[in-house]
Structure 1
Amino acid sequence: MSDVKFQQNHTLGLPKARELAKKWAEGPAQKMGLSCTHTEGADEDTIAFERSGINGTMKVTGTSFDIDIKLGMMMKAFKPMIEAEISKGFGRMIDKASGTDQA
């Protein structure tokens, strides 16, 4: 069972969502020390990620990003912060990609 479940709906379509997911895996995920593996599919991509104390997957479709994360014992204390950062980061990323970024 996941410790953190997050879903962010969007209207970007799969090609743009795939591009954003790749940027996340190459940027913010690496900065957090996550090792990522990206698998492309016809209708859905999967990014598997892990580091000490964290492992999870992100399913990328034309209409949503679905994230499931399993936290190790020491990382469970950071669950609220992790949830907040995911929500804020993906919201900002999607807003910017769709042209609704206010910054």
Structure 2
Amino acid sequence: MADINISRPHSLGLPAARELANKWMEGAAQKMGLTCSLVSGETEDQIKFERSGVTGVMKVRGDALELEAKLGMMMKALKPMIEAEIDKNLTRLLEKAGGQG
């Protein structure tokens, strides 16, 4: 079971959502030290991410972004801060893209 679950509906469509997810992936790698890998699909992409104490996946669809993350023992104490930062970043990216729905 994931420790962090964030779902953000949007109205961008899959091509624009992919661009947005790539921006998130670049920022997450730089700011949070995450190693990310992209698995593209026909109707959904998955960005798998990890670093010491954190593993997860972001599902990128034409109508929503869904993020699930599992935190290690030491990171669980920081859950509220981590969750708030991820939520803020996704909300900001969606607002900039005009797809907040």
Q: TM-score range by the shorter chain?
A: over 0.9
User: What letter is aligned with 2:31?
Assistant: K
Equivalent position SS for 2:12: coil
Q: 1:99 and 1:54, CA in 2 relative to 1: closer, same or farther beyond 3 A?
A: closer
Q: Which runs of 5+ in 1 are unaligned?
A: none
What's the offset of the Cα at 1:98?
1.0
Larger mean Cα displacement after TM superposition, 28-37 or 61-70: 28-37
Mind listing any 5+ residue stretches in structure 2 that lack a counterpart? none
Supply the distance in 2 between the matched residues of 1:99 and 1:58 (Cα, whole angstroms): 17
Match of 2:78, SS?
helix
Question: What do you get for the CA RMSD once the two structures are aligned?
Answer: 1.3
Letter in 2 for 1:5: N
Task: Please give the per-residue CA displacement for 1:14-72, whole angstroms capped at 9, x wherever unaligned.
Answer: 00000011111112333200000001111000000000000000000001110010000
> Who is 1:26 aligned against?
26
Residue 13 (structure 2) aligns with: 13
Q: Could you tell me how far apart the structure 2 residues matched to 1:28 and 1:68 are?
A: 14
Q: How does 1:80-99 map to 2 (within 5 A)?
A: 80-98=80-98
2:41 alignment counterpart = 41
* Secondary structure of the structure 2 residue equivalent to 1:41: coil
Equivalent pairs counted in the alignment come to 100
Q: Under a length normalisation based on structure 1, what TM-score does the superposition of the two structures give?
A: 0.92
